[in-house]
Chain A
Amino acid sequence: MLHDVIPQEAAAPDAPAKPRGRAIVVTSGKGGVGKTTTTANVGAALAAAGASVVLVDADVGLRNLDIVMGLEARVRHHVLDVLENKATLDEALVTDKRVPQLKLLAAAQTREKDDVDTAAFRALIDSLRSRFDYVLIDCPAGIEMGFANAIVGADEAIVVCTPEVSAVRDADRVVGLLGDTRKVHLIVNRLRPELVRKGKMLSVEDVNAILRLPLLGIIADAPDVIVSTNKGEPVALDAASPVGSAYRAIAERISGARTDAPAIPRERSFFDKLFGSR
């Protein structure tokens, strides 16, 4: 049934002479595993490295990406305004405070996911690809209409998964729904190395023994992430943060600037804990 709703084909083949940007959907199936945080930080890291990036919040009805980016006060129009011709794309794009080549297209907060026209959303992603190097789409949780819309224009996907049974199960389902035509990568989020060592948490190997995806990176469950979300400043832009550098490494693996295997995050030492959260 669901397979009927979700198009299995990727976006239209690259034809124009001008190099088209890459459309990457950040998805997970399960909610609360860090899709939005991942979208914000990977986008910020890509933009900080010089690429032009637009973040599209596809979580219509539950707009969050603007908060995580600290741009909520600047949002005037949203995706549906653009799709329904109530605003132009340029009016709706919000420029980041810190990195000017990073833009945000916010979701509508007072609308529903079913209000999004799939074909129109795909056309929007397509037009964004002609203007930006990267189009990062923050997918809503679940595998219903919102998911179908979020993935329709993307020919690549990042699956975010935490080391939990439920998250891996949902990620496994989502990988199946993404189909064979998309390049799919994995980010393992919220890993706690000390718990893995003690046998109290699934390891990255455990997770990827199931999902079998190329690994983009491993993000530790660190206070930095919470602190940066509190402030609305992507941790990826914090040069001193180990998690920030893990996000920057992910961006480099996406752009191809880096090909090494992701490192397991270091355990937090006594001193880290003592002087840790800022």
Chain B
Amino acid sequence: MTTARWNARVGRIGLYTLLVWICLFFSIPLLVVIATSLKTSDEVRTFSIFTLPSAPGIAAWIKAWSSACTGLNCGGVRVGFWNSVRILIPSVIISVMAGSVTGYALSHWRIRGANVIMLLLLFCAFIPYQVILYPLVKTFSTIGIYSSLPGIIAVHIVFGLPVMSLLFRNFYIGLPDELVKAARIDGAGFWRIFAFVMLPMSVNILIVATILQTTGIWNDYLLGLIFAGRDNMPMTVQLNAIATTSTGVIEYNVNTAAALLTALPPLLIYFASGRYFVRGITAGAVKG
């Protein structure tokens, strides 16, 4: 073998070795958490979390799901899970629909100031939650939806609107104008064109938007903490409360199981939808 080819081969081996090491950096945290969640309480106390469970069992998962304690409430993370589901479904549906209508109106209908609206929406997407938190709390308590299920849903829709609108607008602007023109000559109006021409062509972007909103809203902590109220606490808020409860011995196996249960829905979505997920995450990277 010539030196050049030999060098190339060494280079390839080095390349893959480096990749494998980096992948270990990414995967070890998840593997350690999984291993810990399968241990017994005694085992957790004696060794570091890096050891493998000697007798893997799902006792910690069951406890995390149905009887882990947040302060005095011992209902497990299933309470938060169902709260999150109740928050998630209406928030996602309404914000995706609202975003698609706004994006459609801004792309194929000549509206004076559409570009100004776009730019203003773009800046909204960058505003940190903290800047408008207090005014929103004030407004919401004035109209009586602060600390309630409608309140947290409304706040998710508000914060989802800029990114959703821009995502759909950028998609629709790429569709040929002739589609709308032809439908218009046939006598179809704004909503009819939207329902029968645009929506059927937007399946991909609807999937991207739904995934983006679903993972975003499921993973939200701050808004849930402030706007949901004690009875609708989403899963992330409950998880953090469980994990930081410092009374008694910390049951790391239960806490890790609770963390995994919380991470599971977005993880499943990610593994099931890889490419769409990445598209959404790069489009929505500014949010929050």
**Are A and B subunits of one complex?**
no
* Contact surface of B with A, Cβ cutoff 8 Å: none
